[in-house]
Amino acid sequence: MTDTQRRVAIVTGGSRGIGRAVSERLAADGQAVVIAYAGNDVEAKATVEAVEAAGGNAVAVQADVADETAVRSLFDLAEQRFGGVDVVVNAAGIMVLSPLADAGLDDLDRMFRTNLRGTFVIGREAARRVRSGGAIINFSTSVTRLNLPTYSGYAATKAAVEALSPILAKELRGRDITVNAVAPGPTATSLFLDGKDQETIDRMAKMNPMERLGRPEDIAEVVSSLAGPARWINGQTIFVNGGVA
C-alpha cells in the first residue's frame, strides 16, 4: 500500500491510556498515525516503538491542542510526512474532581482549555484539512448521563463537546466526512484510577451489568469502526460503557 492509498490519522493524547490504545489499533488497521502528546517524551517514544514493533507506522509530535499555531504545525507535519489527513481523534483530556462548592477556578479553566478549546481548535483545523471519506472523532464521557458527584467541571467540558460534534457534522455536509463523539464509561486508565481508593474503583466497576471496568482496547475498537468502515454513523455520541447508562 502506498502513502497515497493509506489512511492517515492524527490522535491527540495518543501516547497514553485510551489514546495510546487508539493509536495502536489504528496502526494495526493499516493507518499511518501521528501521535500528538502534551509533554511526556518517554511515553510518546514508547508508543511509537510499540506501533513500529507491530509493523505499523507512527510519529510522535509534542503539541498543545489548545494552541492554534501548534495545531496548524501538527497538521502540516502529517501532510508533509504522509500526504494528508483522513482521521482525527481528539483523545487529549484532563480531569480534576471536586465538589462544586470546593472547586478551584484554575482547575476549571485548565479543563476547559484542554477538553473544550482543544477539541474546538483541533476540530477547526480538521474541518479545513480532512480529506473526503474521512472521520473526526471527539471524546466525551458517560458522566454526562451518570451525574456523579465531584464530576461537575469535567462533565461540563464534555457536554460541550457533545454539543459541538453534531453541529460540525452538519457543517461538513457534502464532503463525505463523519463527525461523532465517543463517551467512555469508567475505564482502567491512569486518568480514571489516580486518586481513587480500591473500594471506589470496585464499586464503579460493578455499576455496569458486565461488572468490570472498561479496557482502553474496548474504546479503541469503537474508534476503529468510526475511523474506517462505519460510514453511516454521523453526528452521534456513542456511549461505550458496558451498559452503565
> pLDDT-derived band of residue 3, with 50, 70 and 90 as boundaries?
very low
Residue 159 lies in a domain: yes
Tally of structural domains, the chain: 1
Question: What band does 4 get if pLDDT is binned at 50, 70 and 90?
Answer: very low
Provide the Cα torsion 240, 228, 85, 191; round to 10°: 20
In a domain, 72, yes or no: yes
Active site residues: 154
pLDDT digits (tens, 9 = 90+) for 35-51: 999 989 999 999 999 99
Nine cell digits for residue 73:
504545525
pLDDT of residue 2: 40
The alpha carbon of residue 98 and the mean position of all alpha carbons in its chain are separated, in whole angstroms, by 23
Percent of all residues in the chain with a pLDDT value above 70, rounded to a whole number: 98
Q: What is the mean pLDDT of residues 197-212?
A: 91
More confident site: 190 or 205:
205
CB-based burial label for 13 (10 Å; 0-12, 13-18, 19+): buried
1 domain residue, yes or no: no
- 111: exposed, middle or buried (C-beta count within 10 Å: 0-12, 13-18, 19+)? buried
Domain coverage including residue 121: 8-238
Tell me: the pLDDT tens digits for 117-173? Answer: 999 999 999 999 999 999 999 999 999 999 999 999 999 999 999 999 999 999 999
Q: What is the CATH number of the domain that holds 206?
A: 3.40.50.720
Residue 138 lies in a domain: yes
Domain contains 195: yes
Whether 243 is in a domain gets the answer no
